[in-house]
């Protein structure tokens, strides 16, 4: 299921974890694929951690990533 935030960011949880919910200040690892859309039509893929085979790491709540991720 795809979720759309009020800002228009769309995301889909493809694998749900079973551990504790991450909190601000913790380091997290995520896989992502970024797509461009035009009028709800999927266009080009612009980036993907999965293509590189390496999850992206960041400190949650530290302003290191786009607001939709923090």
Residues 33-64 have pLDDT tens digits of 999 988 888 899 999 999 999 999 999 999 99
Per the domain annotation, does 1 fall within a domain?
no
15: confidence class by pLDDT, cuts 50, 70, 90: confident
Q: Number of folded domains in the chain?
A: 1
> 10 in a domain, yes or no?
no
Domain that holds residue 34: 23-70
**Complete DSSP assignment for the chain:** -EEE-TTS-EEE-SS---SPPP-TT-EEEE--EEEEEETTEEEEEEEEHHHHT--EEEETTSS-S-TTT-
pTM of the model: 0.75
CATH number for the domain including 67? 3.10.50.40
């Amino acid at each position: 299921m795809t979720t759309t935030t009020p800002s228009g960011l769309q995301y889909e949880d493809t694998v749900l974890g079973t551990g504790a919910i991450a909190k601000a200040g913790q380091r997290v690892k995520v896989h992502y694929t970024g797509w461009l859309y035009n009028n709800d039509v999927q266009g080009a893929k612009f980036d993907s951690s999965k293509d590189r085979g390496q999850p992206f790491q960041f400190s949650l709540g530290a302003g290191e990533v786009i607001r939709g991720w923090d």
